[in-house]
Amino acid sequence: MVTLSEAYRDHPLHLHHIIPLDFSSAGTLPETHAWPELDDFATNGCSNGQKSIPVIDLKDPNAMEVIGIACEKWGVFELRNHEIPLNLIEEVDFQAKRFFALPSQNKLKALRSPGGATGYGVARISPFFSKYMWHEGFTIMGSPVDLAKRIWPNDYAPFCDPMENYQKQMKHLSEQLKHLIFNFLDISNEAKNWVGSTNSSGSGCACTAIQLNSYPSCPDPNRAMGLAPHTDTSLFTILHQSNTNGLQIFKDEVGWVPVNPDPTALVVNTGDILHIMSNGRFRSVLHRVMVNGTRPRYSVAYFYSPPLNYVVSASSNGVLKSGELARFHSVTVKEYIGLKAKNLEKALCLITI
Ligand SMILES: O=C(O)CCC(=O)C(=O)O
Ligand SMILES: [Fe+2]
């Protein structure tokens, strides 16, 4: 099976694009982390009119329709009644905070390797920006045991068990959402099951990852950036944000819109692979994270994508209406991840027909 680590192995990073700042000892904002010319909304934090993202109840009998419309108009929605146990979400949050609270030299024991995909490090988008972000992350794919053992050699289960359980629950929820979204788009059953993505028989397993994000409180928040504007590579992302503001999405003709946290809800956003599979109808949503001067912020992102050797293509999945042409060249998930790792937001343009 092709693994995500393989997809990243061809794009190794320099260590200065992996090792986060030791935020606990940073009394002032270093120039390396000071962003010039942040827009007014970033620095004043004012709310942009009354705009807020759609809120959807997964048990709504019209869930398919309202989710489809939300993806098309916003690329993001808040999901309620998602059935992920709140005590599991709280435990994952607690374990994430416990990890990020460790002294820097302990966290570095789980540092992501230059060609690796998992472990502790700065955001993968970091090399595309001249300034560093006020952020540290921890990426998990499958079992986190090997990484966690480096930090807690004899006591890794309290960290690993909830992370593994969360991945199982998120996978189940993602499959439900995939069915609703693909039904809305009239995408075929073959595509729903990623048929064609395995070497032998049957269909391959989705490619998934958890990203724990930490944005420490910042000595000069008006000049710092938590996570620079980006789109996710995934089909879609399911995000849990604890109770601190900071996430914003970009909406055409409106500008940056805050996504206010509700710790009992989840936020779902569209990614590039859904953009390609829907032939541009569900555009991947641009988003960013701002930091603040008093409270650290934490979030847990779950990225859900087709198997790495799945061919992403609008021409063969039933999405095109009669006479409509595919707007993107077909690519495997692995190829697209490679394009994104090398070109960031230009990746979609590079496969545009
Ligand atoms: O922290 C957040 O709210 C967003 C995180 C995010 O965009 C990401 O991990 O890709
Ligand atoms: Fe993101």
Which tens digit of pLDDT belongs to each residue from 94-104?
999 999 999 99
- The verdict on residue 325 lying in a domain is no
Q: Whose CA is nearest to atom 9 of ligand 1?
A: 301
Structural domain includes residue 74: yes
CA of 200 to the centre of ligand 2 (A): 33
Among 241, 289, 303, 305, say which to mutate for ligand 1: greatest number of ligand atoms within 8 Å of CB: 289
Q: Which residue has the tokens 């808040």?
A: 78
CATH number of the structural domain spanning residue 46: 2.60.120.330
The structural domain count of the chain equals: 1
Quick one: which atom of ligand 1 is closest to the CA of 226? 1
Residue 347: inside a domain: no
pLDDT in tens, 167-203: 999 999 999 999 999 999 999 988 888 888 875 445 6
- Give the whole-number percent of the chain exceeding pLDDT 70: 93
CA of 322 to the centre of ligand 2 (A): 34
Whether residue 161 contacts residue 92, with contact meaning beta carbons closer than 8 Å, is answered with no
Residue 259 burial (C-beta neighbours within 10 Å; 0-12, 13-18, 19+): buried
pLDDT of 203: 62
Q: How many degrees, rounded to 5, is the angle at CA 132 between CA 217 and CA 93?
A: 45
> Does some domain include residue 212?
yes
Pairing of strands 311-312, 207-215: unpaired
List the domain range (segments joined by +) for residue 136: 5-306
Other beta carbons within 10 Å of 216: 21
**Structural domain contains residue 301:** yes
pTM for the structure as a whole? 0.95
Is residue 353, in this structure, part of any structural domain at all? no
Q: Does some domain include residue 123?
A: yes
ipTM value for the complex? 0.99
Question: Is residue 205 one of the residues assigned to a domain?
Answer: yes
Tokens 């393989």, residue? 6
Asked whether the predicted pLDDT for residue 50 surpasses 70, the reply is no
Exactly one of 112, 124, 297, 327 is catalytic; name it: 297
Closest to 187 (Cα-Cα) out of 269, 324, 271, 279: 279
End-to-end CA distance of the chain: 30
Share the mean pLDDT of the chain.
92
